[in-house]
Amino acid sequence: MTAGPPVPPDPEDAPSASMPGGAPASIDPASTATAASPPRALVRSPLSDGEWHRMHPLTPLFRGGFALVVVAGIIIANFRDRLIYLFLPDELDGEMPEDPVDFVIDNNLILVALLAVLGIVLLLIALFYVSWRFHTFRITGDDVEVRSGVLFRTHRRAPLDRVQGVNLTRPMVARLAGLAKLEVVGAGLDANVKLEYLSTANAEAVRADILRLASGARLGEAGTDAAPRAGSRVSAAASVVSAGITGIIDGAEEPVAEPASVVHIPIGRLIASRLLSGSTIGLVVAIIAIIVGSVLGTPWILFSMVPTVIGFGAYWIRSITKSLRYSIAPTPSGVRITFGLFTTVTEIVPPGRVHAVQISQSILWRGFGWWTITVNRLSGRGLADTSTDQFTTVLPVGTRADVERVLRLVLPHLPESEWPLIFEHGVLGPTADDPYTNSPRRARLLRPLSWRRNGFDLTPDALLLRKGFIWRRLAIFPLARLQSIQIAQGPVDRALGVANLHAHTITGPVSGSLGIVDRDAALRVFEAAEAGVMTATAGDRSHRWAGDEAHASDQDEHRDA
C-alpha cells in the first residue's frame, strides 16, 4: 500500500504576517506552496513534491502497539484459568473456573456483551482513523515537516541543510507488514523528525530524496520513479507478508542496488569478542567473589546475584544480536551502516558528519589482532534515549584490514601521505622513528605504563591523540570539525613542566583529553591548531556536499539554453 493522496494544509497552519498597526496581513497560500516546494518536474518521488501526505494506513496500529499489548495482557489475565482448563483440564481437577464469561451466560447478557465488544472495536477503529488523518508529512526544498495529534497538535521541522543522517528502522513485526520507520537526524538535542510508518519502497525513495536535497543537488538529476498503480494494491497486499518474512532472512535492504559491504564479521569472532570484553570479565570476578562470600557464611548473597546474572545475560545477547548482519558500504550520499538481527537499522551518514574517530584495542584482543572503531556524531536524540550508543560504533570488532577499510570510508579526505600516521605510528606505535610528540621522561611517574605511547601529532587535516597501554587508543579529530583546544595545568604539572591537552568536540565516546605532554610542545600545537582549524573550515565543502556539482550543472544548462 502507498501513502494517501495529498492533504490540503489546515487553515491554522497557513503562514501569516502582521502589518505595522498589528492587523494581520493575508498571504497567498498558492504562492507560499510554490516558493517552498521544489518544481514538480524535478521531483523524483511522488511523496517529495512539497505537498502534505499521510503515513501508511497501518501506522496507528504499530504506533499504538504497546496499548494493544496491555489490553491483551488484561484479557489473558482474566481468562487465564479458562485457557488452562481448555488445554490442560487435569491441572484444575476437571472443574471449570468462574470468570466473566460465566457471569454473562448466567445473566443472559450475551447480546449486550457482543454489542459492547463491537462498540469497543468500532471506537478503536475510529481513534486509529482520526489519528491517521491528522498524522501528515511533507518534504520541501528546505525542510522535512511532520504534523501529528488531534487535541494537542505537534509540528516538527528538520532543516535539510542541518541533516546529520537518515536512519531507516524496520522492527521485526513491522517488517512482516512491509513497513519501515524513517528518522531524519537533526543537529540539536531531541531534534529528530520521524516518519513512521511508510512502506519500505516509499521509505527508501523518500530517504534518497532527503539526502539528495540535503546535498544541495536537485531531485530531477536522479530520474523519476513510476508511481504505483491503484490496481496493483490487491496483489501488493497479498504478497506483503511473504516479502516481510523473506526480508527477515535476507535483510532489510535486499535487494537494493547498493555496493556490497566492505567488512564481514564472522559470528564466532563477534561472540568471542563479547566473551573477552571487560564487562564479561567483571561479571565473572563478581560471581567468584559472591560464591566465596556465601561459602564463608552469607549464603543469601547468592539470591541477590540472580537478577544481575539475568540482566547481564539479556544485555550480552542483545549486544550480539544488534551487531549481527552488520555491513558498511559507501554510497553517493555517504556511508551506509546496517546492523541488527530482529530490528534492523540502516543509517546513512552524509559526508562531514563525523566529528571524531577512535580506534581502540583491549589487551584481551591484542593476541587476536582485533580493534573496534567508535565515532562522535550528532544523533539528534534526547539525553534519556539509551539507544544512542548503537549509532556511535561503526565497527564492533575487526582486523587491521577491516579497520583500514572503515577508516577510508569515514575519513575520505585524509591524504594518502598521512595514512602511516594512523596505523603504523598511531595504533601500533611507537616505532623507532616515531613522529609523535610524546610525554617527557621526567613525567614518566605520572604515566608509568603508557608514557612512551602517550603523545600527539598535528597534520594539515587532523589532530591525532595517541594514548593507553592496557587499552590502546588513537583518537582522530578532523580540523574542520574541531570546536576548540584547551591547555590546563595543575600544581604538579607546573613543577614538571608538563600540561594537559584537550580537544573539544561534540559529546560522544571519543575523548579529546591527553595528559602529561611537554608544556612548550602543547603551546606550539595550540597555536598551530588554531591556524589549521581556520584554514580547514574555510575550505570545507561537506555541509552541502553536492552543491558545487549542482551549481556547475545549472551553469551548463544555462549555457546550453
Residue pair 483/504 in contact by the 8 Å Cβ criterion: yes
Of 177, 402, 170, residue with least CA distance to 269? 402
CA angle (132, 155, 177) in 5-degree steps: 35
So where are the chain's domains? 79-132, 267-321, 354-360+373-381+400-538
Any idea what the Cα angle at residue 67 is, between residues 62 and 70, rounded to 5°?
130
* Beta-bridge partner residues of 329: 336
* C-alpha–C-alpha distance, residues 122 and 117, integer Å: 9
Please give the Cα distance from 348 to 197 (Å, whole number). Answer: 18
How buried is residue 341: exposed, middle or buried, by Cβ count under 10 Å (0-12/13-18/19+)?
middle
Helix H segments across 134-189?
A: 172-176
Distance CA(505)–CA(503), nearest Å, equals 7
How many CA atoms are closer than 13 Å to the CA of 365, on its beta-carbon side? 26
Q: For the segment 133-148, what is each residue's pLDDT rounded down to a tens digit?
A: 888 999 988 889 999 8
Model pLDDT, residue 261: 87
pLDDT digits (tens, 9 = 90+) for 267-317: 899 989 988 887 788 778 777 877 777 777 666 666 667 777 777 777 778
Q: At 402, which amino acid appears?
A: D
What is the percent of the chain where pLDDT is above 90? 22
pLDDT confidence tier of residue 116, bands split at 50, 70 and 90: confident
Using DSSP, state whether 31 is helix, strand or coil.
helix
- pLDDT exceeds 50 at position 551: no
- Nearest in space to 45 (alpha carbons), one of 200, 219, 198: 219
| pLDDT attached to residue 219 | 66
Residue 101 and residue 117 in contact, taking contact as beta carbons nearer than 8 Å = no
Residues 6+ apart with CB under 8 A from 338: 251, 252, 253, 261, 325, 326, 327, 328, 344, 345, 346, 347
Residues with Cβ within 8 Å of residue 8, at least 6 apart in sequence: 52
Contact in structure between 470 and 456 (CB atoms under 8 Å): no
Q: Is the preceding peptide bond at 315 cis, omega within 30 degrees of 0?
A: no
C-alpha cell at 419: 595514512
Lowest mean pLDDT among 83-87, 199-203, 359-363: 83-87
Give the position of cell 539526502.
211
CA dihedral 225, 229, 234, 235 (to 10 degrees): -50
Q: Label residue 559 exposed, middle or buried (CB < 10 Å: 0-12, 13-18, 19+).
A: exposed
Distance, CA of 219 to CA of 25 (rounded, Å): 34
Paired with 474 in beta bridges are 359, 466
How far is it, in rounded angstroms, from Cα 305 to Cα 431? 46
Q: Which long-range contacts (CB under 8 A, 24 or more apart) does 81-86 make?
A: none
CATH fold group of domain 354-360+373-381+400-538: PH-domain like (2.30.29)
Q: How far apart are CA 215 and CA 541, in angstroms?
A: 10
Band of residue 71 on the pLDDT scale cut at 50, 70, 90: low
What 3-state class would DSSP assign to 266? Answer: coil
Using pLDDT thresholds of 50, 70 and 90, give the confidence band for residue 205.
confident
All three cell numbers of 148 = 501529528
In angstroms, how far is CA 242 from the centroid of its own chain?
A: 27
Specify the pTM: 0.75
- Is 142 in contact with 159 (CB distance < 8 Å)? yes
Whether 124 and 116 have beta carbons less than 8 Å apart is answered as no
Mean pLDDT score, 535-549: 74
- Which of 150-159, 247-256, 331-340, 353-362 tops mean pLDDT? 353-362
Strand ranges inside 408-527, DSSP E: 437-438, 455-458, 462-467, 471-478, 484-488, 498-504, 513-518
pLDDT of res. 40: 46
DSSP 209-240: HHHHHHTT--GGGG--PPPPPGGGHHHHHHHH
Angle at 44 between CA 43 and CA 45, to 5 degrees: 100
Rounded Cα–Cα distance for residues 339 and 134 (Å): 32
pLDDT for 232 equals: 41
Beta partners for residue 147, in sequence order:
136, 155
Return the closest-CA partner of residue 418 out of 378, 472, 464, 382: 464
Which three cell numbers mark 2? 502507498
| From 370-384, 507-521, 527-541, 543-557, the region with the lowest mean pLDDT | 543-557
